[in-house]
Homo-oligomer: A and B are copies of this chain.
Amino acid sequence: MTDTSLYGTGRPRTAGAGADGEELLRRGTALVDPPLRVAVDRLHPSMAAVCRYHLGWDADAAPTAVRHVAKRVRAALALLSVRSVGAPERLAAVAGTAVELVHQLSLLHDDIMDGDTERRGRLAAWARFGTGAAVLAGDALVVQAVATVFRAQAPGARAAMEDLIVTVEQMVEGQAEDLALERRALREVSASRYARMARGKTGALFGCAAALGAVLADAPPPVVRALREAGSDLGVAFQILDDVLGLWGDSALTGKPVGTDLVRGKKTLPLVLAAAVESADGRGVAELLDSVPLPQDRVPEVMRRLGALGSREHAEAAAARHVASALAALDAVELPGAVRQEWSSLVDCLSRRRR
């Protein structure tokens, strides 16, 4: 992967725009990490230990954690959410903390579901502390997320709570669909079914992150809708890039082994698109992937075919379309001052993700 933008933002990049995106990520993290620590510190010591390890806050984490820190994408979205409606940053802290707690719950539980033994270059929490401890730690975090929004002092707290509920419902639905698709033959999974799954699994929480600060501030519904739509599309793009990195990424950067999705039968977009474009006369990618788990010795052949079919480029183009759609949603509403440019900067920054 080159270090240039995977897809354009539809606007010329100005000097320093990338830096703005990085700055937003840093500020989002700085806003959310303190209340996140407070939430974790409230837990039973054994649960707090699991969460601290999972978040890379334990003493042993230093060498790997430094590389993997500052991935609080959702916190940056929460920050832009309040900036988009001129609301105070304290609402971004509430929204970002709740969303991040839900995100961490989903990572803890998804790693169990997906049987992923590695995260951020070391053992996943369940592989380190046991499945039971990781299940319970996730349960502990979702309650903290609910409590964070429910107890918020904000004009739109009630609507925000409803928002969080629906978001987690959609995430569970998306994750259930993801698991269900694993057992399907590749040819049965259309790109639109993939998109529905990704919209639940990843898009819902991105959409919530982008909207929740504005909801807490009781912002006008059209702006909230635009923010949610933008966040949701960005989330789908993010998920597609995750799929791409899972096949062609650098495991030293992603922190998880390349090809695990492939072996496990995950219906990632590059595969779905490969099956869609190749001729249906048998012995294509779809047939190669019929056995789950995929034998390791078939991986090179699958990768060769994906290359020949241009699946990576097709997937990246799909991600670019979702990004363009996100920015178009934002262009449909009036945002104060430089905030529209900040959105572009963040999107630009995310689109160059390599981990």
User: Which residues of A approach B to under 8 Å, CB–CB?
Assistant: 43-47, 105, 109, 112-115, 131-133, 135-136, 138-140, 142-143, 146-147, 150-151, 161-162, 165, 168-169, 172-173, 175-177, 179-180
Complex A-B: 14 CB contacts under 8 Å = A43-B172, A44-B172, A44-B173, A44-B177, A46-B176, A109-B139, A114-B132, A132-B179, A135-B135, A136-B172, A136-B176, A140-B172, A150-B161, A151-B162
A169 to B146, CA, bound (A): 11
A179 touching B46, Cβ below 8 Å: yes
Contact partners of A114 in chain B: CB under 8 A: 132
Number of copies: 2
Of the listed residues A109, A138, A143, A180, the one surrounded by the most CB atoms of chain B closer than 10 A to its CB is A143
Residue of chain B at shortest CB distance from A175: B136
A135 touching B162, Cβ below 8 Å: no
Contact partners of A112 in chain B: CB under 8 A: 131-132, 135
Contact partners of A113 in chain B: CB under 8 A: 131-133, 135-136
A136 to B108, CA, bound (A): 11
Of the listed residues A44, A133, A162, the one surrounded by the most CB atoms of chain B closer than 10 A to its CB is A44
A172 to B173, CA, bound (A): 24
Residue of chain B at shortest CB distance from A174: B44
- Whether A169 touches B143, Cβ cut-off 8 Å, given contacts A44-B176, A113-B136, A136-B176, is yes
A109 touching B133, Cβ below 8 Å: no
A135 to B176, CA, bound (A): 11
Contact partners of A179 in chain B: CB under 8 A: 46, 132-133, 136
- Whether A138 touches B136, Cβ cut-off 8 Å, given contacts A146-B146, A150-B165, A180-B46, is no
Contact partners of A147 in chain B: CB under 8 A: 165, 169
A138 to B138, CA, bound (A): 11
Contact partners of A109 in chain B: CB under 8 A: 135-136, 139
Contact partners of A161 in chain B: CB under 8 A: 150
Output the least CB separation between A139 and chain B (Å). 5
Contact partners of A44 in chain B: CB under 8 A: 172-173, 176-177, 180
Residue of chain B at shortest CB distance from A143: B168
Contact partners of A133 in chain B: CB under 8 A: 113, 179
Of the listed residues A105, A146, A177, the one surrounded by the most CB atoms of chain B closer than 10 A to its CB is A146
Residue of chain B at shortest CB distance from A109: B135
- Whether A162 touches B150, Cβ cut-off 8 Å, given contacts A176-B46, A177-B44, is yes
Contact partners of A162 in chain B: CB under 8 A: 150-151
Contact partners of A47 in chain B: CB under 8 A: 172, 176
Contact partners of A131 in chain B: CB under 8 A: 112-113, 131
B132 touching A146, Cβ below 8 Å: no
Output the least CB separation between A112 and chain B (Å). 6
Contact partners of A175 in chain B: CB under 8 A: 136
Output the least CB separation between A293 and chain B (Å). 14
B172 touching A139, Cβ below 8 Å: yes
Contact partners of A165 in chain B: CB under 8 A: 143, 146-147, 150
Contact partners of A143 in chain B: CB under 8 A: 142, 165, 168-169, 172
Residue of chain B at shortest CB distance from A44: B176
